[in-house]
Amino acid sequence: MDAKLLKSRFEDIFKRSNGELFFAPGRINLIGEHTDYIGGHVLPCAITIGTYAVCAKRGDHQIRLYSENFPDSGIVCLDLSATAYKKEDGWANYPKGMIHYLLKAGGQIDSGMDILFHGTIPNGAGLSSSASIEMLTGSILKKLFSLDVSDTELALIGKRVENEFIGVNSGIMDQFAVQKGKKNMAILLNCDKLEHEMIPAAFNGYKIVIMNTNKRRELAASKYNERRSECDEALSELRQYRNIASLAELTSEEFNKLESLLSCETLRKRARHAVNENERTLSAAEALKSNDLKTFGELMNASHRSLRDDYEVTGDELDALAEAAWKEGALGARMTGAGFGGCAIAIVESEETAGFIRAVSSHYRSRTGLEASFYIADISDGAAEWREK
């Protein structure tokens, strides 16, 4: 990214200079899918594609927001005293939500500001462009107004924006990964206690290839919320027999003995995924620590099958990519993020990546009639001020 160019865009749009630069990454999740909101474990990494911003305080109470990704929305203007959700503000509800809840939490944000956003995350790819904008805004506000707020608090405020402002009942994984990411590290996060451990993502000799279905994620929010309530329902049924606070407290062995007590096959499948995926994530973290990439890859494949067969969030496009990747010799491949379209990831031998991409691309085209896009994931630091290196 060219810092000078970004700054000159800020000057063009807002007719002022001396903006400060910030960056927040996107994220991929290596394994631990749909386990954050059941209090389980996840293993995401922040990536170098993300969102840049140029920003400066103002002398009045006006907030002006502009995104180069949504030029048709123009400059969205609001007053510091009127930060409620408005459907017509579209993308700007994400930064606005951060301002709204930071103010509610007592943050001394006492002047307006101008912010120009420039995202390099493909839209709707499931690589957390929304958490990226949220944590970017959080980091900007923290710095400009010297707010006394920790990384974890910022992540929780971002989650609140999703849950209460936007209306998606998502968990903490995306915001946490985007805020706390570390270069070349995967984050093993316990989403119940919010305790985490950094694990070197040493895929020596391999690359993480991101494979984008380029399929619009239709009804993703409503299906996501539906899965979440199915897990809640399964938990409340199981609580009649076992004193547990979350599905993540069960081992797969314990769950096998309990599953027949659930009232229907759908709940059995959802809960089975949740319990097994949580266990797989812990095993995968161990495998990564001991550099056992073969086991790691097998756990990724099992995760995809479980998301396909039990959780039913993959869809033909993600299956086509993962299955093509398996066929083309990936060490492991699976969908990443919420599913219902978006991206899959594959661990591929560095020297084989070009051929791998060609072959998967052709399988995908003939199975779905769509063109996939491919990016190599570089694991990045979390949201922060940014200086061009």
End-to-end CA distance of the chain: 10
Q: Is 20 annotated as a binding residue?
A: no
Closest CB 329 distance from ligand GLA, rounded Å: 26
Q: Give min distance, CB of 1 to ligand GLA, in A.
A: 24
Based on the shown chain and the rule CB under 6 A, indicate whether residue 36 belongs to the binding site for ligand GLA. Answer: yes
The alpha carbon of residue 184 and the mean position of all alpha carbons in its chain are separated, in whole angstroms, by 17
> Of the candidates 173, 285, 307, 383, which one interacts with ligand GLA according to CB under 6 A?
173
Q: Which is nearer to ligand GLA, 54 or 346 (CB)?
A: 346
Considering the rule CB under 6 A, would residue 170 count as an interface residue with ligand GLA?
Answer: yes
Where helices occur in the chain by DSSP H, the ranges are: 3-14, 93-104, 129-144, 151-160, 173-180, 220-238, 252-258, 265-289, 293-309, 315-327, 353-368
Binds ligand GLA by CB under 6 A, chosen from 174, 259, 279, 323? 174
Backbone φ, ψ for residue 198 (5° rounding): -90, 130
* Burial class (CB within 10 angstroms; exposed 0-12, middle 13-18, buried 19+) of 10: buried
Q: How far apart are CA 188 and CA 201, in angstroms?
A: 11
> Which one, of 361, 363, 379, lies nearest residue 371 by Cα?
361
Residue 337 lies near ligand GLA (rule: CB under 6 A): yes
**Can you tell me the distance from the alpha carbon of 336 to that of 42, in angstroms, rounded to the nearest whole number?**
11
Stretch that binds ligand GLA, among 11-19, 29-37, 100-108, 268-276 (CB under 6 A): 29-37
Taking CB under 6 A as the binding criterion, the range among 26-34, 180-188, 248-256, 314-322 that sits at the site for ligand GLA is: 26-34
The active-site residue, picked from 114, 174, 310, 319, is: 174
Number of residues interacting with ligand GLA: please give it, by CB under 6 A.
Answer: 11
How many angstroms separate the CA atoms of 8 and 17, rounded? Answer: 8
15: number of Cβ within 10 Å: 8
Q: Does 34 bind ligand GLA (CB under 6 A)?
A: yes
Query: Which 3 state secondary structure label does DSSP give 22?
Result: strand
What is the C-alpha to C-alpha distance for residues 382 and 26, in angstroms, rounded to an integer?
9
| 237 is annotated as contributing to ligand binding | no
Nearer to ligand GLA, 222 or 350 (CB): 222
Piece of the chain touching ligand GLA by CB under 6 A; list 18-26, 143-151, 169-177, 241-249: 169-177
Report whether 124 belongs to an annotated binding site: yes
Is residue 2 flagged as an active site residue?
Answer: no
Residue 350 annotated as lining a ligand binding site: no
Taking CB under 6 A as the rule, does residue 308 contact ligand GLA? no
Q: Which residues bind ligand GLA (CB under 6 A)?
A: 29, 33-34, 36-37, 170-171, 173-174, 337-338
| Residues with active-site annotation | 174
Binding residues for ATP: 67, 124-130
Binding residues for substrate: 33-36, 224
